[in-house]
Amino acid sequence: MQKRTLGKSGLEVSALGLGCMRMSFNQEMIALIRKAVELGVTFFDTAEVYGPFTNEELVGEALAPFKGQVVIATKFGFKHDPVSGPSPTVGLDSRPEQIRRVAEASLRRLRVEAIDLFYQHRVDPNVPIEDVAGTVGDLIREGKVKHFGLSEASAQTIRRAHAVQPVAAVQSEYSLWWRAPEEAVLPTCEELGIGFVPYSPLGKGFLTGAIDESTTFDPSDLRSHIPRFAPEVRKTNLALVDLIRAIGQRKGATPAQIALAWLLAQKPWIVPIPGVRSPERLQENLGAVNVELSPEDLQEINDALARIPIVGDRYPQYLQEMTGR
């Protein structure tokens, strides 16, 4: 497995990480995470809110035998209501006392002495980002956190936070069908020496080629509410999948591998974190590091992207309002 360094932080990780959000706590997922380590993955992504809480416990148990060999990223920034069932998320909360509470709880669940990378999950408009960065900086000096990260933050917010506590990585959605970070966030990361970690690098499964016009989603599946997956626009959006499938056929690669290889080709400090729940998908995704896209291939993709319209928002409105602050 190739390695990459997240900006100027010195944090070295595998070129592809593993997003663990949708994994359930069971022996199959523990085995899958350990299989990823065996295949060279050293970068694992979780969050307090995933589950909530149980995903961190899963990752902690699965990676306990590999202390010192892997990097675990987790996140703070939400508050929970312990009265209403299994601690549902009830809003944003990045107050310093909440950040400290989450850090202590995450340390226990992850079974580590220090959190390798601690992201603010979403920017809290009620807490100055300088206070957030300062609190994480204090945790770093106390030895409880190693690196500070932001998720779905605007370029301006990144700059303000970085001025208080260096930001090691920014995590945001980025893929062939969501390229908004190219406008301001990626240039800011390059200027400041910050790594970039794309989540949903396969467009929530759309870019794998496994979804077609007849695919249906359970109402509990977020994609059933996402405008880009709506039946009336899906045929138009599938033109992008047709493009990467054709390139993949020339390269002996799957659409998913082409989509991941495209991300890896953008910058040497970009580390995608596709999520999988099967060994077969894990093997397929990791094969992307061996797919070389020539300058001509990349130009062909860019030219096609300029012609292919992507229809629909990436999130329903109620979630869209929580991004890019």
| Residue 50 designated active-site | yes
Catalogue the long-range contacts made by 11-14 (C-beta closer than 8 Å, 24 or more residues apart): 11/71, 11/116, 11/117, 11/146, 11/147, 11/168, 11/169, 11/195, 13/42, 13/43, 13/71, 13/271, 14/40, 14/41, 14/42, 14/43, 14/271
Assess whether pLDDT exceeds 60 at residue 84.
no
pLDDT, tens only, 138-180: 999 999 999 999 999 999 999 999 999 999 999 999 999 999 9
* Domain annotation covers residue 104: yes
* Domain annotation covers residue 228: no
For the ranges 86-90, 249-253, 299-303, the lowest mean pLDDT is seen at: 86-90
* Domain annotation covers residue 310: no
Classified as helix, coil or strand, 294 is coil
Per the structure, the complete domain to which residue 65 belongs is given by 3-205+266-291
Dist CA 260 CA 288 (whole Å): 6
* Domain annotation covers residue 260: no
pTM for the full model? 0.95
Exposed/middle/buried for 79, CB within 10 Å: 0-12, 13-18, 19+? middle
> Count of domains in the chain?
1
* Domain annotation covers residue 155: yes
Dist CA 19 CA 285 (whole Å): 12
Phi, psi angle pair for 149, to nearest 5°: -135, 165
Catalogue the long-range contacts made by 82-86 (C-beta closer than 8 Å, 24 or more residues apart): 86/52
Dist CA 235 CA 64 (whole Å): 45
pLDDT, tens only, 17-31: 999 999 988 999 999
Q: Which one of the listed residues 50, 174, 199, 315 is annotated catalytic?
A: 50
Select from 187, 214, 208, 224 the least CA-distant residue to 284.
Answer: 208
DSSP letters spanning 169-216: EEEEE-BTTB-GGGTTHHHHHHHHTBEEEEESTTGGGGGGT---TT--
List all residues 6 or more positions away from 160 whose beta carbon is below 8 Å from its beta carbon.
129, 130, 133
Percent of the chain residues past pLDDT 90, beyond the cut:
87
Dist CA 305 CA 54 (whole Å): 39
The mean of the pLDDT values for the chain is 94
* Domain annotation covers residue 223: no
Assess whether pLDDT exceeds 90 at residue 200.
yes
Query: Which CATH number does the domain housing residue 7 bear?
Result: 3.20.20.100
Assess whether pLDDT exceeds 80 at residue 319.
no
Number of H helices, E strands in the chain: 11, 11
Q: What is the pLDDT of residue 315?
A: 86
